[in-house]
Amino acid sequence: MFKLPTIDFSKNTFLDAETIEFHYGKHHKAYIDNLNKLTIDSERRSLIEIIKNSQGALFNNAAQSFNHTFYWLGLTPAKISIKKGSSLSLQIDKDFGGIEKLKPLFLERALSIFGSGWTWLALNKSNNKLEIINTTNADVIDLENKMPLLVCDVWEHAYYIDYRNSRANYLNDFWDSINWNFVSENFEKKDLKKIENSMSE
């Protein structure tokens, strides 16, 4: 069985309680409940294996379960800046010319998604470069060849309660709430086990 990961919202993220109640408590929970129904008779597989080897409803619910967990873990109520001189910071300097240049690139890409989707910061494992990647609907980046570092949910349900139709304002506040410790850890360890473990019971 899969479970909704425990996320500490006590100090609140930039999102208000109603958004958390709906987005985490209803949308994310529904994906996990559906995933459990769809896998009830099958042999136990890891979430990543299911994402890599399924399609249709099973893929959509597995992917949305994963994407949302990744999204929540990338947010923080406290200001956590990127550590200057860290390996991630140096890589961002190399690939984008600095964190202040990455921000508008990432936000523009997120703004450009037509309809529902996700904007990812990822490490391309074959050339060791950082990339900004958009995926639509439930789609996940290619987890075989790319390591996700951070994701932003740009489905309307992510911002409509707090920001109505202003995706741009939501994206700006999202950027200020990024948990750079989470992003750095993903960059350094390249391990998705922590995400899977947070959803296993």
Applying CB under 5 A, the residues found at the interface with Mn ion are: 153, 155, 158
In whole angstroms, the minimum distance from the beta carbon of 116 to Mn ion comes to: 8
Q: Are 123 and 146 in contact (CB under 8 A)?
A: yes
Q: Are 77 and 13 in contact (CB under 8 A)?
A: yes
- In this structure, what token pair is assigned to residue 112? 């450009």
C-alpha 5: how far from its chain's center?
13
In whole angstroms, the minimum distance from the beta carbon of 17 to Mn ion comes to: 16
In whole angstroms, the minimum distance from the beta carbon of 155 to Mn ion comes to: 5
- In this structure, what token pair is assigned to residue 13? 């993220």
In whole angstroms, the minimum distance from the beta carbon of 32 to Mn ion comes to: 12
Task: Indicate the residue among 151 and 158 with the shorter CB distance to Mn ion.
Answer: 158
The DSSP secondary-structure symbol of 154 reads: -
Task: Indicate the residue among 153 and 174 with the shorter CB distance to Mn ion.
Answer: 153
In whole angstroms, the minimum distance from the beta carbon of 89 to Mn ion comes to: 28
Largest CA distance in the chain: 50
Task: Indicate the residue among 20 and 82 with the shorter CB distance to Mn ion.
Answer: 20
Task: Indicate the residue among 88 and 158 with the shorter CB distance to Mn ion.
Answer: 158
The residues, any chain, with a CB within 8 Å of residue 46's CB and separated by 6 or more, are 196
Q: Name the residue with the smallest CB distance to Mn ion.
A: 153
Task: Indicate the residue among 153 and 182 with the shorter CB distance to Mn ion.
Answer: 153
C-alpha 107: how far from its chain's center?
14
- In this structure, what token pair is assigned to residue 57? 């409803």
